[in-house]
Amino acid sequence: MTRLILATRNAGKITELEAILADAGLPHDLVGAAAYPDVPDVKETGVTFAENALLKAHALAAATGLPAVADDSGLCVDVLNGAPGIFSARWAGSHGDDRANLDLLLAQLGDIAPPHRSAHFACAAALALPDGTERVVEGRLEGTLRTAPSGTNGFGYDPILQPTGETRTCAELSPAEKNAISHRGKAFRALVPVIRELLG
């Protein structure tokens, strides 16, 4: 069985990706980057989700000599011209402070009426092989932004994005419901045939 390294130390994201890839019937052994503590974190210096995903995947493949999968994702708000975008995880200044990011974004959108609160989650998923081969695919989840958080599932901006056609936010969906429609679910399901093509 081929070992695939997932370029994340986020346990929640690893669980989510394992579920998505297992549902797709991918027969590979998935291991998070935490299994390789000597591999340094990669600075996300790209200006697109795809560039950042490829940076992380290539760095991990080069360091481990194994195929690596990485993603970069974020929230893109139409009235903010696509921001926070690649800066989603550090919108309020420090990386990964979900509550601060959420509060800042809601404050910035305080005067924006519901018809103009359209947004989408975007995800780029990349596969990199030690020989330099690379592929990247993308997925989106369209929706609108609530004026206050609702729900306790998920992470990041899930409590304020209400997917198109839904009455609940992403944080009110079960993990299985969210995976079925999410930007990350779409991107990684699109990556499955690529992994099969390159790794068998």
Whether residue 178 is annotated as binding a ligand: the answer is: yes
Candidates 5, 31, 30, 2; CA nearest to 128 is: 5
Whether residue 9 is annotated as binding a ligand: the answer is: yes
Whether residue 157 is annotated as binding a ligand: the answer is: yes
Confirm if 186 and 180 have CB atoms less than 8 A apart.
no
What six digits make up the tokens of 93? 């200044």
Whether residue 13 is annotated as binding a ligand: the answer is: yes
Whether residue 71 is annotated as binding a ligand: the answer is: no
Judge whether 29 counts as a catalytic residue: no
Whether residue 124 is annotated as binding a ligand: the answer is: no
**Catalytic position from the list 72, 78, 97, 103:** 72
Candidates 40, 120, 136, 41; CA nearest to 77 is: 120
Whether residue 36 is annotated as binding a ligand: the answer is: no
Confirm if 150 and 159 have CB atoms less than 8 A apart.
yes
Helix (H, G, I), strand (E, B) or coil at 69: strand
Q: Which residues are annotated as a binding site?
A: 8-13, 72-73, 155-158, 178, 183-184
Q: Which residues are annotated as a binding site for Mg(2+)?
A: 72
Would you please indicate which residues are annotated as catalytic (active-site) residues?
72
Q: Which residues are annotated as a binding site for substrate?
A: 8-13, 73, 155-158, 178, 183-184
